[in-house]
Each structure stands twice: as structure tokens, then as C-alpha cells.
Amino acid sequence: MMRGSLNKLVFRSLSVAGKWQQQQLRRLNIHEYQGAELMSKYGVNVPKGVAVSSVPEVRKAIQDVFPNESELVVKSQILAGGRGLGTFKSGLKGGVHIVKADQVEEIAGAVILSPSPVHIFSRLLLFAGKMLGQILVTKQTGPQGKVVSKVYLCQKLSLVNEMYFAITLDRKTAGPLIIACRKGGTSIEDLAEKFPDMIIKVPIDVFKGISDEDAAKVVDGLAPKVADRSASMEQVKKLYKLFCETDCTLLEINPIAETSDNQLVAADAKLNFDDNAAYRQKEIFSLRDPTQEDPREVAAAQADLNYIGLDGEIGCMVNGAGLAMATMDIIKLRGRTPANFLDVGGNASEAQVVEAFKILTSDDKVKAILVNIFGGIMKCDVIASGIVNAAKHVQLKVPVVVRLEGTNVDQGKSILKESGMTLITAEDLDDAAEKAVKVAYN
């Protein structure tokens, strides 16, 4: 099953400008099992399931939650899409599997077991053990992959049809947008590109809320084969209510499926929440799993720094988001790529500057650091003192290019000069970028 496919789907079907790329966003992302629990509270149909983090917990779940099931779905829990088609670094293929009797020999090895429920669950224990604590690599994790700390054991449903459903925020209509497609699954991006007419988009008036007419349009786009139309409309309304009341920025269900007993079920889900709503969504934000996030971004958030990790070679420390973007652009113009976005803001302390340097130097890909400060509220002498103190705490193994301009610039330059540090100074942004690119590849 595909998670996070809305990024590409929106890119292709809604003609969002610019090339989609994988990067961290300023929003909360929760695990599938957490999303299922939340949807269940809102009356959304979800498969029965339980998250476990150890083999003993797997055994207990089988006994307590699934005593009469002959098959279960085992889903690795990481905050990235493409799990089903991923590969563990241990060699195990796929992060989502159905436990079937006819696969016992393949998973258990040379021992051939009979297809009884006992042996099926023996295989499940072995299989979960092969997932837990292992690193799963998908097309969204990068080659480093992510550690699977939990697996989600789910009831295996008898699905007769798989569709796609999502709610996101649309800049054009300035409100929620529901996206539906009568086909779902791992090929949704390809389908959206080849058959865009299959994608139904229903904008919702945020002041009026979702109407029966809106819900009917969505259900028509899903084109269920066996599920009751009225019941399906109610499920759509409940999902919209969840989206609004929990400050979601994304609610994606792929697939939303029909079962053999004529139910519409959210078989897999991805939910993101607006970080600006953390103060009023404390229960939801307590679900954050920092072990699944970029450790540099976790450290930056703790230091109240605006940091986003990228894949380049030149680390950047800048004050002001606009100047930070311009700095990244000119590095790219000079033929190289920035390693990060880092805005220290207009009122950073020396301690924050020191922390910023620690984060920048923790990235093994960084070959040079470019400090670009235009002092207004942020004073150049504070930045300079922070750089000097950072050098005392962090072993600087890469060249540092510094461009200072603005408030207290003379004091700042004096502090750097008297420190005895080997720094490369620049007169303007273009000069700074040129020097940073040059020293990074000498």
C-alpha cells in the first residue's frame, strides 16, 4: 500500500508549479496505527488492529485481539511512504505482508509446517521478529532507511474494490479540497498522470462545511460497487469533520476500500497536522515520534531554530527566511547545492548560534559553511561571538565563509579578527557564495 502519494498526485492532477521533491515539512506526521485509532474515534470504519513493539507483544495480541483469525496483515510502521515495495537492509523484501499458510515454508526456511492456525501464527511471530528493530528502505526514506520500532497487526479484510481518497488544503480555493478516484493502490501516481479525468476534485466551502451535494460528488468519484451510497456519504462527512476539528493539513486514504460485507473501510491512512495548531491539539501532538524524524531538525526545533535538512554540500546559516532562500538560490546558481535551510531569526542568542553550528557540522556531507548575516534586529556582533564560541565547542573541520553587514558590523568583524580563527570573509552575497563553492571543492 502506498503512503504519501498525494504529493505526486496533487503535483500531476492539480498542476502545482515546480518539481516535487522529498523533504521535511513543518507539520506533524503520525504513524498509520495512530491515524487508524483517531479515525475510529470519529466513527470512520477501519480494520481491527493493534501496534506491537516486541515478539512477546505479538504473541499477546494474537491471543487477546485475534484469537479466531486465520490470517493477519503485518505492517511495518515508519513515517515514510512506499513501505509495501520497500526492502529491509537485512534482505527481507517488503514492509507490508499478509500471513498466509502457503507461504510458511518460504518465511520459516527449511522447516515445512502444516497450514494450521497455530503454525500460521508461529510464522507471524518469526516474521514480525524479522521486521522489528530492522531498517526499512523505501523510495521516500533515502538510502539510509528508517528503523521499524513497531509493527501494526491488522485484521485481513476481504476487499472487493480499492479506491483513493484524500483531503488537503488548496491555495486556489482557499479551503479544503477532497480528491477521489475510483482506482487506488500503489499505482495511483501513474494513473493520475495517464488518466487525469479519473481524479475527482471537490472544493469545500470552509465556512459552510461539507454539504450532502459535496459528499455525493465525492462518492460518485469513488464509484463504489457494493457499499451503500448513503452510508458512504456519511463516512465522507466524518472524515471531513476529523480533518477540520484536528487541524489536519493532509488526510490521505489509499486504499479506501469496499469489503465483501458492503462496508466502506479506510484500509490505510496518512495524516499530517498543522504545527501552528500544537497549542490546541496537545493530545494529537503528544503522538509525535522524534525517532522517525531527521535528528538535525529535532535538535533545531529544541533550540527554536528554523531548520530543514537538504542533500547538498554547503551548509548555510542566515538570518531571515527571504535572505536564506536567496542564499540557497545563489549557491545553486554557482553550480552547487545547499545542505540545509537555516534561519536563525532576528533575535538569536549566542547559545542558539552555537547550537546552529553544532547542527551544521553534524552533517557529514557538508564541505563548507556559509554564514550570511544582514544585521537589522539581529546584531552582527552577537553572530560573531556565537561563531567564536561555537569554535570552542565544535571542531570545525570544514572552511567557514562569513559575510556580515548591517547593525554592529564593525564590532562583529573585530570579534572575528581578534579570535584568531581561520575564516574566509566576503564583501557581499555573490562573493560569499563564490568563495564557499570554491573552498568546498578545493
Q: Which residues are the active-site residues?
A: 164, 252
Residue 254 assigned as binding residue: yes
C-alpha–C-alpha distance, residues 46 and 44, integer Å: 6
Q: For residue 100, with 0-12 CB atoms within 10 Å meaning exposed, 13-18 middle and 19 or more buried, which class applies?
A: middle
Q: Looking at the DSSP assignment, which residues form a beta bridge with residue 317?
A: 371
Beta-bridge mates of residue 252: 166, 270
346 among the known binding-site residues? no
Question: What element of type H or E holds 245?
Answer: helix 229-245
Q: Is 138 helix (H, G, I), strand (E, B) or coil?
A: coil
Q: How far apart are the first and last CA of the chain?
A: 46
Q: Is 408 marked as a binding-site residue?
A: no
Q: Using an 8 Å Cβ cutoff, are 61 and 52 in contact?
A: yes
Q: Is 163 helix (H, G, I), strand (E, B) or coil?
A: strand
The bridge status of strand 306-309 relative to strand 264-266 is: unpaired
**Would you say 430 is a known binding-site residue?**
no
64 marked ligand binding residue: no
For residue 207, the one-letter residue type is F
- Helix, strand, or coil here: 350? helix
Is 171 annotated as belonging to a binding site?
Answer: no
Helices in 68-211 by DSSP H: which ranges? 104-108, 117-131, 188-194
Write the secondary structure of 408-435 as one string of H (helix), E (strand) and C (coil): CHHHHHHHHHHCCCCCEECCCHHHHHHH
Residue 156 and residue 380: Cα distance in Å, rounded? Answer: 61
- SS3 state of residue 378: coil
- 84 has binding-site annotation: yes
- The CA distance from 231 to 209, in Å, is 18
Amino acid at 151: V
How far apart CA 429 and CA 355 sit, in angstroms, is: 23
Q: For residues 284-302, b (16+ Cβ closer than 10 Å) or e, as one string?
A: bbebbbeebbeebbbbbee
Distance CA 438, CA 433 (A): 9
> Is 3 known to sit in a ligand binding site?
no
Binding-site entries for substrate: 319, 376-378
Binding-site entries for ATP: 75, 82-84, 162
Binding-site entries for Mg(2+): 254, 268
Binding-site entries: 75, 82-84, 162, 254, 268, 319, 376-378
